[in-house]
Amino acid sequence: MAKVAFLGLGVMGYPMAGHLQAAGHQVTVYNRTSAKAEAWVAEHGGTMATTPRAAAEGAEFVMACVGNDDDLRMVCTGEDGAFHGMSDGAIFVDHTTVSAKVTQELYGTAKGRGIAFVDAPISGGQAGAENGVLSIMCGGDLPAYEAAEPVMQIYSKICRRIGDCGAGQLTKMCNQIAIAGVVQGLSEALHFAEKAGLDGRAVVEVISQGAAGSWQMVNRYETMLDDHFEHGFAVDWMRKDLGICLDAANENEASLPLTALVDQFYKDVQKLGGGRWDTSALIKRLRALD
């Protein structure tokens, strides 16, 4: 078993770190709000540190799941960042959804310090983290990925290296682009069913078994019909992710008209006070137009 540090105990990181501890790894956690780290230790055991640097000292693997580019820079290279405490040959695995630019920046910094860096964003939501069935898309040097893969497999159903540094983040952008269109389509279908006087549950029972079926439909249609939007991955975070996608598309000249439109629809949801609602709340915008 390995000595592992886990930085960031949000709705994803908290259960992910728990799976590592349950699997027998020696886990030290860090969270910006120390009360969350204290609660994690009380629940799972392990130890906590007051800085990323202290958490990373002596760790073979340092996993991070924080908020955005600036948060990641802080926990990596800030005054008490993890890179300052990591030993030569240690591996940093970033599960945060960030820009490919910051990934490449930190990869270079890590390499200069003798540290390996794997970008490994995740998909599957809070339930996927809690149940240990996340999808993990990775970029980075092959030896580092192969060393880290057994650790990541503890909380994943699929973990795959897509390519070199940044490939994981670019793949996560593909994931978010696809989700945006699917959730908007599902929202419109359920809204149309409501306006047509149909039983939404009966409609989904039928269409989910055909070409219209999707993970979003199976897992979100009932709560969307019930006007319940408390599934963890917030609209605010989705807009952050879609902003990353659109910035990258401006650079590589990809055409993302639907993604740009749905991003604006999520902006409308924020204006309704739904920044902390989950991403299926797009249907709230349609209902508000009635």
Query: In the listed set 137, 165, 193, which residue is the last one of a domain according to the structure?
Result: 165
The whole-model pTM stands at: 0.93
What is the per-residue pLDDT for 217? 97
Average pLDDT over residues 136-154: 98
Query: In the listed set 103, 130, 165, which residue is the last one of a domain according to the structure?
Result: 165
Domain match, 176 and 64 both? no
Domain match, 136 and 54 both? yes
What is the per-residue pLDDT for 231? 79
CATH at 108? 3.40.50.720
Query: In the listed set 142, 165, 188, which residue is the last one of a domain according to the structure?
Result: 165
What is the per-residue pLDDT for 233? 85
Domain match, 56 and 145 both? yes
Domain match, 96 and 125 both? yes
Domain match, 39 and 149 both? yes
Q: Is the predicted pLDDT of residue 215 greater than 80, yes or no?
A: yes
CATH at 261? 1.10.1040.10
Domain hosting residue 111, numbered range: 3-165
Domain match, 79 and 134 both? yes
Question: Can you give the chain as a three-state secondary structure string?
Answer: CCEEEEECCCCCHHHHHHHHHHCCCEEEEECCCHHHHHHHHHHHCCEECCCHHHHHCCCCEEEECCCCHHHHHHHHHCCCCHHHCCCCCCEEEECCCCCHHHHHHHHHHHHHCCCEEEECCEECHHHHHHHCCEEEEEECCHHHHHHHHHHHHHHEEEEEEEECCCHHHHHHHHHHHHHHHHHHHHHHHHHHHHHCCCCHHHHHHHHCCCCCCCHHHHHHHHHHHCCCCCCCCEHHHHHHHHHHHHHHHHHHCCCCHHHHHHHHHHHHHHHCCCCCCEHHHHHHHHHHCC
Dump pLDDT digits (tens) for 257-285.
999 999 999 999 999 999 999 999 999 99
Dump pLDDT digits (tens) for 180-203.
999 999 999 999 999 999 999 999
- Work out the mean pLDDT of the chain and round it to a whole number: 97
Out of 3, 36, 157, 172, the active site residue is 172
Dump pLDDT digits (tens) for 49-107.
999 999 999 999 999 999 999 999 999 999 999 999 999 999 999 999 999 999 999 99
Domain match, 94 and 180 both? no
% of the chain residues with pLDDT over 90: 97
Q: Is 172 a catalytic residue?
A: yes
Domain match, 21 and 159 both? yes
Domain match, 281 and 193 both? yes
What is the per-residue pLDDT for 50? 97
Domain match, 151 and 203 both? no
The tally of domains found in the chain comes to 2
Q: Is the predicted pLDDT of residue 46 greater than 80, yes or no?
A: yes
Dump pLDDT digits (tens) for 102-129.
999 999 999 999 999 999 999 998 999 9
Domain match, 159 and 16 both? yes
Domain match, 174 and 141 both? no
